[in-house]
C-alpha cells in the first residue's frame, strides 16, 4: 500500500485520531494504540490554578505519534494565529489543525476566516491542516494559500452521519494537489472505508471511536476499514453498471440439457 | 502587586520574574505556553521577564480534543 506523505512526513497509517470525549485518559491511550495511528489531535485550554488534573499528554506522547494541536475555541483568523503560536510554544510543533467555527450549534467552519488564517500561518512556517467545508473551490484556495492538506467535513462534528458531502468530496479529491483528509461526521467504519475507496488520503475520526461501547475495538475496526478502503482504491474499485441489468459472472451455457 | 492569571486575581511580591510567579502558584510548566498581556513569552525568557503590576497572564495546556 502506498504510504501517505503529508507535510513532508511519511505516515504508515492513514487514520488520524481525535482525543476528545474518551471516558478517561487510559481508555484514550488504549484506543490510540489499537488504531495504529501516527497522529493524534489535541485541544488547548487555560490552566486551572485551583485544580491539578491528570495530564492527557502523558498518555499520548509516544514514539511514532505526532501531535496535531487544534485551534478549537477561536472565532476568527487573528485568534487562530495567536492560538497557533501558543501551541507551537507549548508543544514544540508547527503542525496545526486549523479550526475556526464561531457557531457553537453546528460547529461549521468559517471559510473566510479559515482561508485568511491559512495564508498567514503558512507564511509563518506552520504546517496547516485546515478543517473546512466540503467546498471544492475553497479547497483549491486553501491549497494555494499554503495548506499542507485540506480536511473537508463529511458531516457536522460529532454527528456520526457519514459522508453527507460525498459528491463534493469526490470533486475535492479529483482536484487536490495536497492530501485530502476527510474529517468530522464519520460515524462507522463503513463510512471511513467509503471515503478511502473514493480516493481520500486519510480520515480523521474521534467521536465514533471515543463514544463506542468498546472504544478500543472500534479503533481497530476503523483502522481496518481505512486500510481496506485504501487497498480497494489502489486496486481499482469496479465501476457500477449504469443500466442495473445483471452481467453474468458464470457461463450461461447449459450443461444439463442440450 | 496584583496580577491576573487566566482571569483569576493573584497577589504576589513586586519584582518577581515570570518563572517565580509561576512557581508561586504551583503551575506545572511542562508543555504549557504563557502570554503576558497577549504577548507570548518563550520559556527561555521566563527567568529574565519581570512581571509588572496589573499584568494579565494567560497559561494554556493540552486537553483532549478532536
Residue A97 designated active-site = yes
Q: Please indicate, yes or no, if residue A60 is contained in any of the structural domains.
A: yes
Closest Cβ opposite residue B61 in set A21, A47, A206: A47
Closest Cβ opposite residue B61 in set A20, A45, A158: A45
Mark yes or no for CB contact B65/A43 under 8 Å: yes
Q: Please indicate, yes or no, if residue A241 is contained in any of the structural domains.
A: no
Length of chain B as a residue count? 66
Question: Residue B65's closest chain A neighbor by CA?
Answer: A20
Q: What is the CATH number of the domain that holds A50?
A: 3.20.20.70
Residue A111 structural domain: 9-235
Q: Which domains does chain B have, with CATH numbers?
A: 2-60 (3.10.20.30)
The total number of structural domains in chain A stands at 1
E strand segments, chain B = 2-5, 8-11, 33-36, 39-40, 56-63
pLDDT, tens digit, 9 for 90 and up, residues A13-25: 999 999 999 999 9
Q: Mutation test of the interface with chain B: which of A18, A89, A98, choosing the one with the most B Cβ atoms within 10 A? A: A89
Give the pLDDT band of residue A258 (cuts 50, 70, 90). low
User: Please, what is the average pLDDT of chain A?
Assistant: 95
Give the pLDDT band of residue A254 (cuts 50, 70, 90). confident
User: Considering only CA atoms, which of A82, A91, A83 is closest in space to residue A55?
Assistant: A91
pLDDT, tens digit, 9 for 90 and up, residues A23-62: 999 999 999 999 999 999 999 999 988 877 778 888 988 8
Whether residue B29 lies within 8 A of chain A, CB to CB, comes out as no
* Measured distance CA(A229)–CA(A2) in Å, rounded: 12
Q: Cell numbers at residue A138, please?
A: 475553497
Q: Please indicate, yes or no, if residue A1 is contained in any of the structural domains.
A: no
Size of interface A-B (CB pairs under 8 A): 102
Query: B24 CB contacts (<8 Å, ≥6 apart)?
Result: B12, B13, B16
Q: Please indicate, yes or no, if residue A253 is contained in any of the structural domains.
A: no
3-class SS at A239?
Answer: coil
Q: Please indicate, yes or no, if residue A243 is contained in any of the structural domains.
A: no
Partner residues linked to A6 by β-bridges: A9
Q: Which of A3, A97, A120, A123 is catalytic?
A: A97
Q: Please indicate, yes or no, if residue A218 is contained in any of the structural domains.
A: yes
The DSSP secondary structure of A94-122, one letter per residue, reads: -EEEE-----TTT----HHHHHHHHHHHH
Q: Please indicate, yes or no, if residue A183 is contained in any of the structural domains.
A: yes
Mark yes or no for CB contact B60/A55 under 8 Å: no
Q: Cell numbers at residue A216, please?
A: 478500543
pLDDT tens-digit profile, chain B (66 residues): 999 999 999 999 999 999 999 999 999 899 999 999 999 999 999 999 999 999 999 999 999 999
pLDDT, tens digit, 9 for 90 and up, residues A125-166: 999 999 999 999 999 999 999 999 999 999 999 999 999 999
Mark yes or no for CB contact B62/A89 under 8 Å: no
| Res A235: pLDDT | 97
User: Considering only CA atoms, which of A88, A79, A117, A96 is closest in space to residue A41?
Assistant: A96
Q: Please indicate, yes or no, if residue A144 is contained in any of the structural domains.
A: yes
pLDDT, tens digit, 9 for 90 and up, residues A51-108: 777 788 889 888 899 999 999 999 999 999 999 999 999 999 999 999 999 988 999 9
User: Considering only CA atoms, which of A83, A196, A135, A125 is closest in space to residue B65?
Assistant: A83
ipTM of the complex: 0.93
Amino acid at each position: 500500500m502506498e504510504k501517505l506523505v503529508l507535510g513532508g512526513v511519511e505516515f504508515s497509517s492513514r487514520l488520524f485520531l481525535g482525543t476528545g470525549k474518551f471516558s478517561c485518559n487510559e481508555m484514550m491511550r488504549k484506543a490510540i494504540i489499537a488504531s495504529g495511528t501516527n497522529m493524534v489531535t489535541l485541544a488547548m485550554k487555560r490552566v486551572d490554578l485551583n485544580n491539578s488534573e491528570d495530564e492527557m499528554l502523558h498518555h499520548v506522547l509516544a514514539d511514532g505519534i505526532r501531535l496535531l494541536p487544534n485551534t478549537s475555541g477561536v472565532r476568527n483568523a487573528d485568534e487562530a494565529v495567536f492560538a497557533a503560536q501558543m501551541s507551537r510554544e507549548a508543544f514544540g510543533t508547527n503542525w496545526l489543525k486549523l479550526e475556526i467555527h464561531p457557531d457553537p450549534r453546528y460547529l461549521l467552519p468559517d471559510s473566510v476566516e479559515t482561508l485568511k488564517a491559512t495564508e498567514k500561518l503558512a507564511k509563518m512556517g506552520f504546517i496547516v491542516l485546515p478543517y473546512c467545508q466540503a467546498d471544492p473551490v475553497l479547497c483549491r484556495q486553501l491549497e494555494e494559500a499554503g495548506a499542507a492538506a485540506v480536511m473537508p467535513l463529511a458531516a457536522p462534528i460529532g454527528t456520526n452521519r457519514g459522508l453527507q458531502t460525498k459528491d463534493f468530496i469526490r470533486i475535492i479529491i479529483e482536484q487536490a494537489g495536497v492530501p485530502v483528509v476527510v474529517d468530522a461526521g464519520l460515524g462507522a467504519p463503513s463510512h471511513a472505508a467509503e471515503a478511502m475507496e473514493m480516493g481520500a488520503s486519510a480520515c480523521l475520526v474521534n467521536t465514533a471511536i471515543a463514544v463506542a461501547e468498546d472504544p478500543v475495538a472500534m479503533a481497530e475496526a476503523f483502522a481496518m476499514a481505512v486500510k481496506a478502503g485504501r487497498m480497494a482504491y489502489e486496486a481499482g474499485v469496479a465501476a457500477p453498471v449504469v443500466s442495473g441489468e445483471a452481467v453474468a459472472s458464470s457461463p450461461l451455457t447449459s450443461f444439463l440439457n442440450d | 502587586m496584583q496580577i491576573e492569571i487566566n482571569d483569576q486575581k493573584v497577589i504576589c511580591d513586586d519584582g518577581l520574574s515570570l518563572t517565580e510567579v509561576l512557581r508561586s502558584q504551583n503551575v506545572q510548566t511542562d508543555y504549557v505556553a504563557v502570554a503576558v498581556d497577549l504577548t507570548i513569552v518563550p520559556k527561555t525568557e521566563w527567568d529574565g521577564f519581570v512581571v509588572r503590576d496589573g499584568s494579565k497572564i494567560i497559561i494554556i495546556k493540552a486537553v483532549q480534543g478532536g
